[in-house]
Structures are given as C-alpha cells and as structure tokens.
Structure 1
C-alpha cells in the first residue's frame, strides 16, 4: 500500500515561486553613458523623398515606375462627373503624356445598350501594361501593372477604337 503524505503549503508555495521566477523576463540594463538622440547632421540620418511629391511621367522608367501617375489620373477622373466614360480616362492619360496609340479601351455600354457595369482601359508599356478598371460594380477604381499579351495588347475581349 502506498502512503501519501500531505506536503506543507509553505513548501509548495516556495517551489511555485522558484518555477515562476525563471519565467519572468529580466529588465534590460540601464545604459552606462549619456543618452544620445540622432540629429539631422548625424551620419545615421537617411534622406527620403518628399511625401507630397507629385508623380510624373517617367518615359525611361518601367510600368511600375509610372503606376503612381496612372493611378492618380484614374482616381481624378473617377472623382469627376465622367466616372464611367472611357473617353475621359483616355483623354486624361493622353494629356499627361501617355501614348494614346498604345492604349486600349472596352466599351462604355453593353451589347444591348445598357451602361457597362465596368470599363477597362490600358496603356502598353514595353512588355507590361498599366491597366485600370472602373465602374459601379467595382467600387473604388483599380490601377495595376499586368504582363502584356503576346498579341501586343493588354486587354482580352472586345475593345473599341480610340479614333478621336
């Protein structure tokens, strides 16, 4: 027969304190020298671009380099009265210096004459494409960089002529 002897509560409490003491973090040591604060003249300061710098067209840049300007234009047109007019996006992009001949645009209306739920437009940029999508079914406008198609275009499906 095994006999169990009760242990005094003080022994159990002491053991618990020792176990828990090993689980608590120790505070970091106080610095031994005077505190230093980096200044603008310190060598660790890093220059960063101005946060309010407006994006601009970068003809020698990549599609990703030009995405900020593309997105800004898409957002500006979306905020105006011609939200779902493809021509408004093409005209605004062309006015900013994007090549109109490299653009594609889907129709503003469905095949039965109803307003399109979304329209897409693009600018071919080398092997890539800047692509925008707007419309009531989209919510906020979308602007992204996608790979170009092997056909030389950017959009799949029916597009309309940009002949103005």
Structure 2
C-alpha cells in the first residue's frame, strides 16, 4: 500500500506554522506594585492567644529567626525582650543563664513560652537556632533545671 504524499507535506506545514507563531511578539507585561493583604501583614506581626500550637510555633520561629538573622544578641535578656516585643507574655517565659556554673559564657541559651498545656522551646547560640514544642513538665514549667529570674 503506497504512502500518501500529503502526510509529509502536512507535517512540514504544521512545523512552519508553529515556528512562525513563536516569532510573533506578545505585549510587554505591565509592572504593578505588590499590595500586601491586611491578613498577611497581621499574620506576620501578631499571634492570636487561641492560635493552634503549630501556628504559634511558626510565629515563634519567625520572630526568633528574623531577630537572630538580623544580628540580634543571643543573651537571655535580649531574646526575652524580642519575644515580648512580638507580643508574647513575659510572665509565661523561662530562660536559662547566660553563664555556666564556673562563670564562662554559655554556648547556648534555652528559652520558652508556656501556651496552655504546651511549651514553645527555643535554643540559640554558637550552633544556630532551633525550636520544638514540648509538653508542660509536671512542675508546671517548660525548662528543666535552674532558670534565670526574669525580673526586668
């Protein structure tokens, strides 16, 4: 059965048509200034008291990471003050000492915020920043061991 000569011609015509279509210019895109939505801005700057713990942790991490990535100090007072500025209640916080038991600078500082039955626990120091959600201890605290009095 002989092949039709029309098929190869159709393929060539289609290729030329698609190739020519690629040469046409499209209108330039119009630049617009992005307008942040009110909800996105509010979500980035505040946390509802009844927010689920996963949202609270995400906010906690944004607040701490932004502060530390911007060169913020890793001493306990500075970390606590940063969290207070973001809306966390100082009365719900704990922080470890800035110094070791022999008076040297601590390699890292642990800090926490009590939220109901959960604790947002952060650690900042020479190895970077990390966090976790942990259950409240039987003592009602978030951190084990001796913590620094937050009296400022």
Calculate the TM-score normalised by the size of structure 2: 0.67
Which residue of the other structure, out of 111, 126, 141, is the alignment partner of 2:129? 141
Q: 1:80 to 1:115 in 2, by over 3 A?
A: farther
2: CA distance between counterparts of 1:153 and 1:114? Answer: 26
The CA distance in 2 between the partners of 1:82 and 1:95, in whole Å, is 13
Cα deviation for residue 100 of structure 1 reads: 0.5
Q: 2: CA distance between counterparts of 1:77 and 1:133?
A: 13
- Distance in 2, matches of 1:69 and 1:85, equals 20
Cross-structure match for 1:107: 97
Q: What is the RMSD of the two structures over their aligned residues, measured on CA atoms?
A: 1.9
Residues matched between the structures, number: 112
Aligned counterparts, 1:37-52, within 5 A: none
Q: Provide Cα deviations, 1:14-73, integer angstroms capped at 9, x if missing partner.
A: xxxxxxxxxxxxxxxxxxxxxxxxxxxxxxxxxxxx8xx353312111322211111011
User: Does 2:62 correspond to 1:62?
Assistant: no
1:3-152 superposed matches below 5 A: 53=40, 54-55=43-44, 56-136=46-126, 139-152=127-140
Normalized per residue, the structure richer in helix is 2
TM-score using structure 1 length: 0.63
Which consecutive residues of structure 1, in runs of 5 or more, have no partner in the other structure?
A: 1-49
Q: Which residue of 2 aligns with 1:7?
A: none
Residue 155 in structure 1 maps to residue 138 in structure 2: no
- Aligned-residue offset at 1:123: 0.3
Query: Is the 8 Å Cα contact of residues 63 and 128 (structure 1) preserved in structure 2?
Result: yes
SS in structure 2 at match of 1:130: strand
Deviation at 1:149, TM superposition (A): 0.7
CA contact (8 A) 1:129 1:154 kept: yes
Greater than 6 Å deviation, 4+ residue runs: none
Instruction: Give the gaps of 5 or more residues in structure 2.
Output: 1-36
Report the alpha carbon displacement of residue 124 of structure 1 after superposing the two structures with TM.
0.3
